[in-house]
Structure 1
Amino acid sequence: MKVLLLSAYAAQSHRYWQRGLREMFPGWRWTELELPPRYFSWRVRSNPLSWSLTERTTLEADYDLLIATSMVDLATLRGLVPNLARLPSLLYFHENQFVYPQDRQQHSLLEAQMVSLYAALAADQLLFNSAYNRDTFLTGVAGLLSKMPDEVPPGVADRLAGKAGVLPVPLLDTYPSDASLPWPGRQGEYPDRPLRLLWSARFEHDKGGEDLEAILQGLEATNLDYELAVTGQQFRNSPAVFTRVDQAFAHRLVSFGFVENEADFRALQGGADVVLSTAGHEFQGLAVLEAVLAGSVPLVPDRLAYPEIYPPELRYDSPEDAVALVLSLAHTLTSGQRPNVALERFTVAALQPCYAAILTALAATAG
C-alpha cells in the first residue's frame, strides 16, 4: 500500500501518531509531508498554498490512500491538486477547534472551524481519537451553522456523523529496555520517601495552570511529604502562573520545564507515583496515558475525554477534591495497594487490526 500522509501542524502528539502508523504498517510505503507547529492561524489557512506550489511533484505521485490531519485544508488542497480528489481520503482529528476555552483564545477560531468543516465534508471518512472529540465537533458544527443568517443546508452534522468513527492514537513502546535512570529526587520505596507527583503538559492557558497552583497550595496546608515534577513545552507567552509555581514550590520541585533528553523524561514518567492533569482542553491525553502505562496512578478532572478512560474514583471535580484524592491515594499506596487502570485497548496490538480494517477498506474504494 502506498500512502500519502499530510500533517499541516505537526505538534508532538501528531508526530507520535505518525510514528505509530509507520510501526503498525512497516510494509507500507509512507510519503509524509508536514509543516511546523507555529503561526497557527496562518498555518491552518495557508497549507494548501504552501504544498500545492512547493510539493506538487510529491502530491501528484501515485498513491492508494490519502491520510490527513484535521489541520489540513483538504477541500482547498484537493481543488488545487486535482489528482488528490481521486484518492480515497481519511481525515484524522487529534483535536477540534469548537471547544477551546473562548475567554483564553489568542486568535479567532472561525477560520480554523470552517477549514475543518470543509475538510470533513471533502474527506471520505473521519476518525477521532475520542468520543468526546467526535461529539464536540459535531455539536460545534451544528452550532456554527445555526448562526448562518440564511441558505443553511440541512443535515450537515448528521451527514458528517454518518462517516465518523472513533479510533485512539495507539500507545507506543517508548521505554528503553535498560530503564536505569532514577527519579531525580529521594530514592527508596514509598512511604520511606516523599510521594512523587508528575504534571506533564504544555505551559499554555488551556492546561489549567491555575488549578495546578490551587492544588499545590492545598497540599502545602497538609502534612503530606511530596516531590513534584512539572514538565512540558514552554513558550515566550506562557501564562504567569507557571512562573509562580516555579518560585512558590521550588522546595518541592525535582524538575521544571521542558525535558530535552527522552531518557530523563521517561525516568520521570516511570518514577512518579501519581500523574496529575488539570487540563481544560484535552481530547485523549497522551502524556497522562504514557505515565499510567509506566506505572503512575492517574488523577484527572471529571471532564473532557477522561471519563471515557479512567474510573470515577480517579477523577475530581475541583482543586479541593483533587487534594483530598491525592491524600487518599497516598494512604492507599502506604498500605501497599495500587489502583489498576486497564489500558490494553490503547496498545498497538489492540488497535492495529482496527486501523488495518478501516484503512484497507477505504483504499479498496478507489475507482
Structure 2
Amino acid sequence: MKVLLLSAYDAGSHRRWRRGLVAALPEWDWTVLTLPPRYFSWRVRGNSLSWGRGEAAKILQQPHDLVVATSMTDLATLRGLVPSLGGIPAAVYFHENQFAYPRSDRAFQSVEPQLLNIYTALAGDLLLFNSEFNRSTLLDGARQLLKRFPDHVPPAICDEIEQKSRVLPVPLDDSLFTGPAPTATGPDRDAPLEVCWAARWEYDKGGERLLGILQGLEEGQVNYRLHLLGESFRNSPGEFATIRREFAHRLGRVGFLPDRRQYLEILARSHVFLSTAHHEFQGLAVMEACALGCSPLVPDEQAYPEFYPVTSRYRDVREAVDKIGRMAAGTALCPSPDFSGYAWQRLAPAYRDCLAGVASMS
C-alpha cells in the first residue's frame, strides 16, 4: 500500500511518532513530507500553500492509497488545492487540539487555529486521538465555538466528527522495555531524593507551579536534588531563571540534552518524575520515565487521570510538596504504572488495522 504521510509541524513528539509509525509498518510504501516546527501561526495556516503550490506539489499529485496527516495539517484546503487528494481516504492523527491550550498573554488571540481543527476533522475519514481528554476537549470546544457564530451553522457537525473518531495513544519506543521490569525504589539513607522535571521551558509547562513546589520543599527542609531538563528559549518564563538562581544548590543536570541516551540515563536513576504542566494530551515524557522505574507525580487534571492512579496525582502545590516530602523521608514510592502495552510492537497491529480499514474505503 502506498501511503502519503504529512507532518505539518514536525515537532519532537510528532517526529518520533511518524518515524515510529513508518518503522512499525515497513511493508507499506511510505512517502513522508514534513515542515519545520517554527513560526506556528504561519505554519498551521500556510502548510497547505507551502505544499500545494510548492516543490512538493508533484509528490502530492502522485497516486496513493492513503493519506495520514497530523492535525496541524490544513487538510481541507490542501484537498482543494490538490483535487486528486480528495479521492484518497485520509486519516488524521491528533497529538493535541487548539481548544484545550491555556491562554498566553503574549499570544494573539484568534479562533482561526480552532476552526482549522474543525475543518481538518471534517476533511478526514478517520480521526485518531492520543487520549480521551484530547478527543473530548476538541468536541466540547468545537460545540462551544460553533454556538458563538450568528447564523448558518449546520447542525450535527460535532456528531459527524465524533462518529469517525477513536482513541489510539502514541506508542513508546520498544527499547524502553527490553530489560527486566524496573521497580520504584527510594533513595539510600541520607541521600537526596532524585527528582526529574523535563519539558519545554514555556508558559504552558507550569514554571510557576514548579517554583511554588520547590519553595515548599525548602520550607520543609526536604532533602532532594532536581534535574531540570528541557529546551529553553529567549522568552522562557522568568520562573526558570529564578529557579536556576535561587535553587542552584539543589540542581543536578540542567537544560536540554541532545543525546537521548544521556536523557534516559537520568530518568533511570531518578526516583520521581514530576510534571507541573498546565496542558498535556498524553504526556510521553512521564510514560517513558515510568517505563524506566520512576514514580510519577502529576497534576490531577488534563489527560493524567486516564493514565495514573490518584496516589500519583496532586491537586495543588501543597499536596505535591507533601507527597515529595514523604517520599524523601523514606515512605515507599508509588509504583510506576505498567506501560508495556504501549510499546510500538504492541500497538502496531492496532495502527495497521485502523489505517488499512480506512484505506479500504476507496
For 2:47, the aligned partner's letter is N
Task: Provide the residue aligned with 1:292 in structure 2.
Answer: 290
Normalised by the length of structure 2, the TM-score is: 0.94
Say which is worse superposed, 62-71 or 19-28, in terms of deviation: 19-28
**1:344 Cα shift?**
2.8
Q: Distance in 2 between matches of 1:137 and 1:257?
A: 32
Task: Report the identity percentage.
Answer: 48
SS in 2 for 1:102: coil
Which structure 1 segments of 5+ residues have no match? 179-187
Q: Aligned pair in 2 of structure 1 residues 312, 48: CA closer, same or farther (>3 Å)?
A: same
Matched, 1:164 2:165: yes
**1:152 Cα shift?**
1.3
Matched, 1:354 2:350: yes
**1:13 Cα shift?**
0.5
The answer to whether the 8 A contact 2:296-2:336 is kept is no
SS in 2 for 1:90: strand
Task: Provide the residue aligned with 1:217 in structure 2.
Answer: 215
The answer to whether the 8 A contact 1:8-1:44 is kept is yes
SS in 2 for 1:251: helix
Q: Distance in 2 between matches of 1:51 and 1:245?
A: 42
**1:202 Cα shift?**
0.6
Alignment of 1:218-233 (within 5 A): 218-233=216-231
Q: Distance in 2 between matches of 1:151 and 1:228?
A: 54
**1:103 Cα shift?**
4.5
2:252 aligned to 236, 251, 254, which one? 254
Matched, 1:278 2:279: no
Say which is worse superposed, 167-176 or 11-20, in terms of deviation: 167-176
Q: Aligned pair in 2 of structure 1 residues 266, 339: CA closer, same or farther (>3 Å)?
A: same
Task: Provide the residue aligned with 2:182 in structure 1.
Answer: none
The answer to whether the 8 A contact 2:128-2:168 is kept is yes
Say which is worse superposed, 67-76 or 94-103, in terms of deviation: 94-103
Give the root-mean-square deviation of aligned CA atoms: 1.8
The answer to whether the 8 A contact 1:97-1:109 is kept is no
1:167-216 per-position Cα deviation (integer Å, ceiling 9, x unaligned): 000001355989xxxxxxxxx95235211000011111110000000000
Task: Provide the residue aligned with 1:182 in structure 2.
Answer: none
Q: Aligned pair in 2 of structure 1 residues 192, 174: CA closer, same or farther (>3 Å)?
A: farther
Q: Distance in 1 between matches of 2:110 and 2:40?
A: 10
Q: Distance in 2 between matches of 1:336 and 1:313?
A: 12
Q: Aligned pair in 2 of structure 1 residues 169, 328: CA closer, same or farther (>3 Å)?
A: same
1:45-99 per-position Cα deviation (integer Å, ceiling 9, x unaligned): 0001100122011111221110001110000000100111111100110000012
Task: Provide the residue aligned with 2:305 in structure 1.
Answer: 307
SS in 2 for 1:351: helix
SS in 2 for 1:153: coil
Matched, 1:145 2:141: no
Which structure 2 segments of 5+ residues have no match? 180-185
Q: Distance in 1 between matches of 2:332 and 2:232?
A: 36
Say which is worse superposed, 153-162 or 260-269, in terms of deviation: 260-269
Task: Provide the residue aligned with 1:181 in structure 2.
Answer: none
Normalised by the length of structure 1, the TM-score is: 0.93
Q: Distance in 2 between matches of 1:122 and 1:272?
A: 44
Aligned length: 355
2:340 aligned to 324, 341, 344, which one? 344
**1:287 Cα shift?**
0.9
Alignment of 1:113-128 (within 5 A): 113-128=114-129
1:140-182 per-position Cα deviation (integer Å, ceiling 9, x unaligned): 110110000111111111111000100000001355989xxxx
Task: Provide the residue aligned with 1:62 in structure 2.
Answer: 63
SS in 1 for 2:280: coil
Task: Provide the residue aligned with 1:47 in structure 2.
Answer: 47
The answer to whether the 8 A contact 1:67-1:91 is kept is yes
Alignment of 1:34-113 (within 5 A): 34-53=34-53, 54-104=55-105, 106-113=107-114
